Amino acid sequence: MKKEIILIGGGGHCKACIDVIEQDDNYTIVGIIDKKEKVNQYVLDYKIIGTDNDLEVLSKKYKYFFISLGQTISADLRKKMFIKLLSLNVELPSIISPFAYVSKYANIGKGCIIMHRAIVNANANIGDNCIINNMSLIEHDAIIGDHCHVSTASVINGGVKLGNESFYGSGAISRQYIEIPKKSFIKANSIVKY
**pLDDT (average), residues 23-37:** 95
C-alpha triplet 49, 55, 60: angle, nearest 5° = 105
CA distance 32 to 36: 12
Give the pLDDT confidence score for residue 177 in this predicted structure.
Answer: 97
CA distance 161 to 191: 15
Q: Is the pLDDT of residue 136 over 90?
A: yes
Helices (H), the chain: 12-24, 55-61, 76-87
The domain boundary residue, chosen from 62, 87, 112: 87
Amino acid type, 37: E
Residue 36 domain-assigned?
yes
- The total number of structural domains in the chain stands at 2
Tell whether 79 and 116 lie within a shared domain: no
Residue 194 domain-assigned?
no
Tell whether 108 and 71 lie within a shared domain: no
pTM (predicted TM-score): 0.96
Range of the structural domain that residue 49 is part of = 3-87
Q: Is the pLDDT of residue 1 over 90?
A: no
